[in-house]
Structure 1
Amino acid sequence: MKHAATVYKPHACAPTLSAQAIGRAATLALHDELALSPKPGLVTPGDCGSHTDMDAHTFMRSLFALRGYFVRIAGLGADGAPFDALERCGIDAEARMLAATGGINTHRGAIFMLGLLCAAAGAVAAEGRRPHPSLLRSALLDRWGDALATRARRPPTLPGGLAARRLGLRSASAEAALGFPVLFETAVPAMQAASTRGHARQHVLLDTLFNVMAVLDDSNLAHRGGIEGLRHAQRAANGFLAAGGASRPGGEAAAGAIGDDFVRRRLSPGGAADTLAAACWMQRLALLAPR
């Protein structure tokens, strides 16, 4: 972002992990999420889910436009930039996304969530530490928690935030101000548990997605389906997991059937998808960072 770059010059964060590596992991993690199929109501390489204005090609154009953003914001985090610099960087990234997609919102939530996490990773790496989830969460809250809490109190302007406010749900901004509890307390443990059990990677990601869907106040679902749509999706996710998840016989077919139901209801758990991508990003960082 031009304004931020005049003051904060992104650089290699530390010998442990560079801004380039942090940003590349974010782009690859968003591709991990896109490539996963079946995925209820969400865009995959094979279908558009509940969407009529976007497909996998739209997402790939967006990813290409956002590659530099994640590197830049990781560098800002390494340099100790204040929250307003991060916010301006994100606003610039959103403009790039919309220009690449013809005005379609493919990754607004990921720009916010993964951008903040990349900044936190830059801050942790600049101190010579490995990006362990607990350190990432602490860095996020210690450095920008007050500003995020202030941001969460702003009147919402976007459809998801308006739906969350109207229905008394925890918005994406409020989730960030709390240090992304669903990511750190649900998604990351679910991914670690499924990986430890030796499940195929597709099943690990599906089970992680459904664990998130089961508990997240997903403002995308609330906007599209109201409180009834959100609760319906949460019940479906809990039922899927209670039946044994993706690795059971017929698990992928069950996920596909839930997807068909979501398409009929026009439900799309975009917040859960962003959280899955963030969990994939942390897994990728763990593989990159030297021990």
Structure 2
Amino acid sequence: MKSEKELFSFILSKVAVNSLIEEVELTPKPGLVDRVNTGAHQDLTIELMRSSAESLAETFEQIAYVSYGRNPSQSLREEIAAIGRAGEKKMFEATNGVNTHKGAIWAMGLLVSAASIGKGMYSIDETVAIAGEIARFSDRYCPDSSTNGGNVRKRYGVGGAKAEAQQGFPHITQYALPMLYRSRASGLTEEKARLNALLSLIAHLDDTCILHRGGSKALSYAKKQTTTFLEFGNLDCLHVLNEDFSRRNISPGGSADLLAATLFLDRTQAERPVDEVRNDYEYSKLNGGV
């Protein structure tokens, strides 16, 4: 019999990976990989994105395990950062060097850690607040290297993924989740509710992936177009926006990462029978899985 700590870590990891896969499979998405096409990306496929997500299962499980029942601290921040960097290496091995989920490892890793600190008892507001507290600690062992996100933050004066996390993921709590809930309440399908949540993120987020590819003009254009779609509510024409974004090389990858994080937070509020999850855990161990 596995301990509750091991079981919970497995559950959280599974929810995190499934959230990443659910994000990539959501269709159609403007400029992003989905079940129909690869959007603005020439080096990505949906199969590669799925493999990347699955390669991170052990990473999220380890983050959950070391965080379980602890308090936010600099030492915890540095422990999960080290696990995250090891996870990046596994991701690159799975994708032959293609960056698929580097940003998602940061956001999802913090949320997994925060949820595990609360042993699954935290509300969404509590989880994002704890994640922000963790993110505000420094990582003294972070390699001093240039990144696309860092360069974009300096050039355009935006906060990026780092600030989003340190502030407690305001674009999730103020835009994505409220839109998801309103869309469900209005009777939309789950797929359309999630698409609306994604559009709300693109419409409000200073997405560093868009800025990296196309600069401030591309970001302004993406925000304007998605705001228009939200105002008119015609998601059946979203494939037109996908073609437009793809042609303009606009890829809202930061928004996609936050959508996956939104789905994770939403799912952590749902309960599954412990015996069902425990059986999943034992089956996975017997078959060489997580």
Quickly name the TM-score band, shorter chain normalised.
0.7 to 0.9
> Paired residue for 2:101?
107
Structure 2: runs of 5 or more not aligned: 274-290
Q: How far apart, in 2, do the equivalents of 1:196 and 1:130 lie?
A: 25
> Paired residue for 2:4?
12
> Paired residue for 1:205?
194
Contact 2:160–2:206 (CA under 8 A) maintained in structure 1: yes
**Cα displacement (A) at 1:177:** 1.2
Q: How far apart, in 2, do the equivalents of 1:260 and 1:155 lie?
A: 38
Q: How far apart, in 2, do the equivalents of 1:180 and 1:161 lie?
A: 18
Query: What TM-score do the two structures reach when normalised by structure 2?
Result: 0.86
> What are the superposed Cα offsets for residues 51-88 of structure 1, whole Å, 9 maximum, x if unpaired?
01110111122122111111111112215361100100
- Indicate which of 262, 268, 273 corresponds to 2:251: 268
Give the secondary-structure state (helix, strand or coil) at the position aligned to 1:46: coil
> What are the superposed Cα offsets for residues 176-218 of structure 1, whole Å, 9 maximum, x if unpaired?
1111111122111111111122210110011000000010010
Contact 2:31–2:242 (CA under 8 A) maintained in structure 1: yes
**Within the alignment, does 1:120 sit opposite 2:124 as a pair?**
no
Q: How far apart, in 2, do the equivalents of 1:69 and 1:145 lie?
A: 17
Contact 2:179–2:197 (CA under 8 A) maintained in structure 1: yes
Amino-acid identity (%):
30
- Indicate which of 254, 262, 266 corresponds to 1:279: 262
**Within the alignment, does 1:226 sit opposite 2:176 as a pair?**
no
- Indicate which of 221, 236, 239 corresponds to 1:252: 236
> Paired residue for 1:133?
124
Contact 1:12–1:18 (CA under 8 A) maintained in structure 2: yes
Q: Alpha carbon RMSD of aligned pairs, Å?
A: 2.2
Give the secondary-structure state (helix, strand or coil) at the position aligned to 2:225: helix
**Cα displacement (A) at 1:137:** 1.7
How has the CA–CA distance of structure 1 residues 115 and 145 changed in structure 2, closer, same or farther, with 3 Å as cutoff?
Answer: closer
Contact 1:190–1:208 (CA under 8 A) maintained in structure 2: yes
> Paired residue for 1:32?
22
Contact 1:131–1:289 (CA under 8 A) maintained in structure 2: no
Q: How does 1:176-191 map to 2 (within 5 A)?
A: 176-191=165-180
Runs of 4+ in structure 1 off by over 4 angstroms are: none
Report how many aligned residue pairs link the two structures.
Answer: 267
AA aligned to 1:252 is D
Give the secondary-structure state (helix, strand or coil) at the position aligned to 1:147: coil
Contact 2:22–2:260 (CA under 8 A) maintained in structure 1: yes
Tell which deviates more after alignment, 228-237 or 130-139.
130-139
Structure 1: runs of 5 or more not aligned: 1-9
Q: How far apart, in 2, do the equivalents of 1:169 and 1:18 lie?
A: 36
Query: What TM-score do the two structures reach when normalised by structure 1?
Result: 0.86
**Cα displacement (A) at 1:155:** 7.7
**Cα displacement (A) at 1:273:** 0.4
